[in-house]
Amino acid sequence: MGRSWVAAVLVVGLALTSCSSGKKSGSTPPSSPSSPSPTASTAPSLDRAAAAAEIKKNWVAFFSKDTPLASKLDYLQRGSAMRAAVEQFGRDPRTSQAAAKVTGVFVSSPAAATVNYQVLLAGRVALPSAVGTAVYEDGGWKVSDTTFCGLLALTGGAKPAGC
C-alpha cells in the first residue's frame, strides 16, 4: 500500500466525517443536574450498554456521507469551532465513497469512551484498526476533537482551524 493511497484513504475518512450527519439521541446526562457534586451513593449509575449504543450510532452518523454538515457538527466535540475543518474535508469528492464501521466501544467513565473502528472506502476496508475517543458533551456522545484532528494530521496537510 503506497503512502499516497493511505493519505487518500485518510482524506476520505476525514472528508467523510465532515459530510456526515446525524441526530443526537435523547439519552440522559451521566450526572444529575440537581446534585452539583454527587457522592458515590447519590451519583446515578452509568448504563454502559446504552452509552455504547449511542456512541456507535453517533460515530457512524458523523462519518456518513448522508449526514448534512450542520448535523455532523452536532456529533463532533466543539463542533462549532471545527466547522472550517469539517467543511474543508467535506469538499473532497472521495467523501461519497467513505464510511466508518464501529467494531468496539469501551465506556471508561460517564464522560469518555474508546472507540475501535474501520474506515471503509467504496465498501472495502481501507483503515482496518483505527482507535479514537468519544466524549459526553452537551447531553450526547460525540466524536472527540482530538480523534478528528488526529485523522486530519495523518493526511499531512496544514493544521486546520480548530485543531
Residue 137 lies in a domain: yes
The answer to whether residue 68 scores a pLDDT higher than 60 is yes
Residue 36 in domain: no
Highest mean pLDDT, choosing among 57-66, 82-91, 107-116: 107-116
The answer to whether residue 162 is domain-embedded is: no
Residue 161 domain-assigned (yes or no): no
Structural domain of 120: 3-25+46-154
Please indicate, yes or no, if residue 73 is contained in any of the structural domains.
Answer: yes
Specify if 30 maps to a domain: no
The CATH number for 107's domain is: 3.10.450
User: pTM for this one?
Assistant: 0.71
Residue 28 has phi, psi (to 5 degrees) of -85, 150
Mean pLDDT of the chain: 75
Tally of domains within the chain: 1
